Amino acid sequence: MQRNPRPFLIGGSLGAVLTAPAMAAAAAPTTMDVTVTIPQLKVAEYHRPYVAIWVEKAGAPAKTVAVWYDHDMKENEGTKWLREVRQWWRASGRSMKFPASGITGATRAPGAQKISFSRAQLGATAPGEYTLVIEASREVGGRELLRIPFTWPAKAGAGGRAAGKTELGAVTVAFR
């Protein structure tokens, strides 16, 4: 996407500038809200999935923003299966230490799980195109990966969605 050359034009819509230019500037989003739906599965043996969320930008190293795993097992044993989230493991996980403050947390139950990231957390300080990647891997289950492109500066409101078929339900992104 082309960056708008006029700095006061946030969100890039000409209509928005004509109707409420001051408001558009004031309402520059600072936060990304992500809803990750973990599907309810009818299986004999169910374990909550490991989920990793990271940000990719061409030419920059991937930045992990959230990892839900068995973070509280004795002797850090839950880390043994982190490599099963294999694309994330390659892109970012294998160079991290666990637990990672502000990034890692417990696995989450089926349902709509909400998590928010600041622009700094996303590593989206430079304007440009980014991709939010969500990968889930479940013990004795499968694996699925979804990608949601976004740009920064972002426009307030809905900012993208993707829907999984097996290990992930709908994932939506909104900016505020």
* Closest separation in Å from C-beta 48 to other proteins: 18
- 48, 71, 86, 108: which one contacts other proteins (CB under 8 A)? 86
* Distance separating alpha carbons of residues 5 and 42, to the nearest angstrom: 52
> Cα dihedral angle (134, 110, 30, 12), rounded to 10 degrees?
60
Q: Which range of residues in 11-19, 86-94, 132-140, 158-166 is near other proteins by CB under 8 A? A: 86-94
Q: Where are the alpha helices (DSSP H) in the chain?
A: 14-19, 21-26, 86-91, 119-122
* Closest separation in Å from C-beta 4 to other proteins: 35
Q: Hey, what amino acid is at 93?
A: G
- 46 or 89: CB nearest other proteins: 89
Query: What x/- string results for residues 129 through 148 when contact with other proteins is judged by CB under 8 A?
Result: --------------------
* Closest separation in Å from C-beta 33 to other proteins: 29
Query: What x/- string results for residues 34 through 73 when contact with other proteins is judged by CB under 8 A?
Result: ----------------------------------------
Site for other proteins contains 82 (CB under 8 A): yes
* Closest separation in Å from C-beta 86 to other proteins: 6
Question: Phi, psi at residue 152, to the nearest 5°?
Answer: -130, 130
Strand 111-118: give its sheet, edge to edge.
111-118, 31-38, 170-175, 157-163
Residues 11 and 152 sit within 8 Å (Cβ to Cβ): no
- 90, 147, 161, 176: which one contacts other proteins (CB under 8 A)? 90
Residues 139 and 47 sit within 8 Å (Cβ to Cβ): yes
